[in-house]
Amino acid sequence: MAKGKYEEWCNDPDKKLLLSGWARDGLTDDEIAKKIGISRSTLSEWKKKYPDISDTLKKGKEIVDTEVENSLLKRAKGYTAKVKKTFKLKKIEYDKTGKKVKEEEVLEVGEDEVHIPADVTAMIFWLKNRLPEKWKDKRFAVSDLADADDAMQTGVIMMSDIDEEAGSGNQEI
C-alpha cells in the first residue's frame, strides 16, 4: 500500500507542490507524514529510496531558509521601501477670465519612498551567529578576575543596630 501511495505523491505535480509548500511552511517531517497519511518512518524510507521526495522536501526548506536569511540581512543593514500613501489634493478649475468655477478636495493614492533604518537587534543576531568567535557575549571566570591587577575586594561588614549599641556601652562586633 505504501508503494502505491509513494507513486501517487511522486508522479502528481500538484502533490509534489504540496510537499514543497509544507516544507517551506516549516512543517516537521512528522507533520508532513501525518498530512500524507503515512508514518514518520515510512516518510524517512521514501526520502532514502526516492530522490524526488527527498529533493522536493529539501528544496522547499532551503527556499524559506534563504528567504528568511535575506530578510534578516536586509533588516540588519536598513533599506528603502516604497509605501502607498493617500494624499488630499485640492483641485480648482478656472474659466477663461480667471474666475474660480469649481473647487473640490480629492483623495489620491500615490507611492512614497521611506528609509527603514538598520535594526541593531538584527545586527547583533547576525554577527553572533555568523562570527561567534568575535561577537559572542564575553564571560569571565572568577580566576580571571582574581588574577587581574585591578581586581576589587568585596565583603560584608556586620553592624549592630543603634539601640543595641546605646544600651550596652562599648561593644565590639
Q: What is the pLDDT of residues 147-173, one digit of tens each?
A: 555 556 667 777 777 765 555 555 555
Which residues are CB-neighbours of 149 under 8 A, at least 6 positions away? none
Mean pLDDT of 116-133: 93
- Residue 146 CA to residue 121 CA, distance in Å, equals 33
Can you give the pLDDT at residue 63? 85
- Residue 139 CA to residue 85 CA, distance in Å, equals 48
Does residue 31 surpass a pLDDT of 90?
Answer: yes
Which residues are CB-neighbours of 170 under 8 A, at least 6 positions away? none
Side-chain half-sphere CA neighbours of 102 within 13 A: 6
Does residue 99 surpass a pLDDT of 60?
Answer: yes
Classify burial at 147, counting beta carbons within 10 Å of its beta carbon; exposed 0-12, middle 13-18, buried 19 or more.
Answer: exposed
Phi and psi angles of residue 82, each rounded to the nearest 5 degrees, phi first: -95, 130
Residue 21 — pLDDT band, cuts 50, 70, 90? very high
The model's pLDDT over 132-149, given as tens digits with 9 standing for 90+, comes to 889 888 776 655 555 555
Does residue 58 surpass a pLDDT of 80?
Answer: yes
